[in-house]
Structure 1
């Protein structure tokens, strides 16, 4: 009975089930149904053309937006209210979507915009605005995001 209750009423589990189905090789009309379902219930919008790797975890799945052509690698953690997508900059000739490599952590309320590459194992701090590439292993934070120097 506890398992059935958890499946029916746990919002995290409900999102995980929808997300895992979305990542399967299923017809587009089912993907669109799942996208609408995730948006309606959790406020999470994942573009139909996005590519999301294995073991991506949405720690608090609410208010997350992932653009149409975003590429996200494996083992990425994404916290609440994160936006990853195309920059709307009429002055910029560069047009594209972010690429998030493996083992990246993106903390709450962060925005990653434009054709940027977030390197393997990097960390994006909370409330950061990232519009430039982040080197592998770097920790960035702020608006605009800057590399943090951590004494070890």
Structure 2
């Protein structure tokens, strides 16, 4: 049995290792993890940038990858505590975004400002237990290549945004977005699709 499996199968040991990595009641890693562990485990592509004022709550037990020439702008929060965060090549994560894994962002994707993409939901079903103490549930978010997510949008758990699609500003995306579509609203719905025969964007 590997060391990782031994830790996972021993609740007390798992809790101790978790405490070593993260202060109690917090989501961000301890400084020693940030300085001496993460740089050797997480992949940063050539020319990629993470602005100084971003909050990188990335931990060694899940993946974090930032592709070539990709940028995470100031005041973002990136959290891989409950799932991998993978960002492809040439993508821009604009100011004040929140990304909570598991989230995969493709190549040449634009996230504008103040976007939340959270693949995490809190359990609430047991009314005898505070919601904050119930298990979290995750469902993968996928943003495919060449998408533009406009400002103030929310991408909910389990959603896939198809290739070369646009999410209009202020939208709440609760269902998959087909490739080559424009969606808008709360909940977001398809308002345009690209017609490859006419080579035009047409209203849905």
Tell me the secondary structure at the aligned position of residue 139 of structure 1. Answer: strand
The 1:43/1:37 distance shift into structure 2, 3 A limit, reads: closer
Aligned CA-pair RMSD: 3.1
Alignment: residue pair count: 123
SS at match of 1:135: coil
How far apart are 1:70 and its partner, in Å?
0.4
Shift of 1:88: 2.3
Q: CA deviation at 1:62?
A: 2.0
- Tell me, yes or no, if structure 1 residue 39 matches structure 2 residue 71: no
- Deviation of the 1:108 alpha carbon: 0.1
Shift of 1:145: 0.3
Partners of 1:116 and 1:70 in 2: how far apart?
Answer: 10
Deviation at 1:54? 0.2
Distance 1:35 1:126, change over 3 A: same
- The separation in 1 between residues aligned to 2:86 and 2:119, in whole angstroms, is 14
**Contact (CA 8 Å) 2:111, 2:148: kept in 1 or not?**
yes
Which one of 68, 79, 86 corresponds to residue 112 of structure 2? 79
Structure whose CA Rg is larger: 2
Could you tell me the TM-score, scaled by structure 1's length? 0.68
Q: 1:42 aligns to what SS in structure 2? A: coil
Segments of 4+ in structure 1 off by > 3 A?
28-31, 34-37, 89-92
TM-score, normalization by structure 2: 0.52
The superposition leaves residues 93-118 of structure 1 with CA deviations (integer Å, 9 ceiling, x where unpaired) of x8412111100000000000111111
Greater helix fraction, Structure 1 or Structure 2? 1
In the alignment, structure 1 segments of 5+ residues that lack a partner are: 1-24
The answer to whether the 8 Å contact 2:149/2:169 transfers is yes
Tell me what 1:4 maps to: none
Larger relative strand fraction:
2
Task: Report the CA distance between 1:39 and its aligned residue.
Answer: 2.4
Report which structure shows greater RCO (CA 8 Å, sep ≥6).
1
